[in-house]
Amino acid sequence: MSNLTISIQDNFDYKTIKVIAGLGNVGKEYENTRHNAGFLLVEKLAGKNQFKEEKKLNCLVTKLHVNGSIIYLIKPTTFMNSSGRAINRFLKYFNINPDSLLVCHDDLDIPTGKCKFQMGKGPRVHNGIIDIEESLATQNFWRCRIGIENRKKLDFKIPGKDYVLGSLSEEEKNQLDLVFNTIKAELNFSRV
């Protein structure tokens, strides 16, 4: 692959993915925060498609037709730390196995501008991912780990829980946009 900022586990096959869930927090105050990187990515993947609220599933949902397959993009409307409830409900409703799920989330273990696609591996601590693992009773789902660690450029140390809720700088937005464009191409969503 041409862009070295993205690392993909060898056995990842985007054709097996049926649901792409972006993690984040709903509400204006969270829109451009680092913690909403997952929301930002699925919005990018959706292109011009609009998300529709599915209250009974606790999600905003849009459906794409990619390479003859239907892929659901979802944004849980439960807050980040309760994402598992919404994702579990969605998978059960459509009878989709967790191994066909790709969860996109921010990751403080990875520098901004980098991303990893991995099965069953996540950050040391991420309450949204922990909730999903507990709700699904498995770790066997794909993760798109979006790097947001950029604190080395700052003169003072910000605790992770405060840092993730901080607004993205223009530089960070530009770095994420480059990563998101590469992901979109890698998933073959370029024409969406």
Single out the residue of 112, 81, 115, 129 nearest to residue 185, CA to CA.
115
Domain 6-186 in this protein, CATH class: alpha beta
The ranges assigned to domains in the chain are 6-186
- Active site (annotated) includes residue 35: yes
pTM (2 d.p.): 0.92
Q: Is the dihedral of CA 160, 59, 186, 172 positive or negative?
A: negative
Give me the average pLDDT of each 10-residue run along the chain (192 residues). Answer: 67 92 95 95 94 96 89 95 96 97 94 92 84 95 93 73 90 94 83 50
Of 35, 65, 105, 126, which residue is the catalytic one? 35
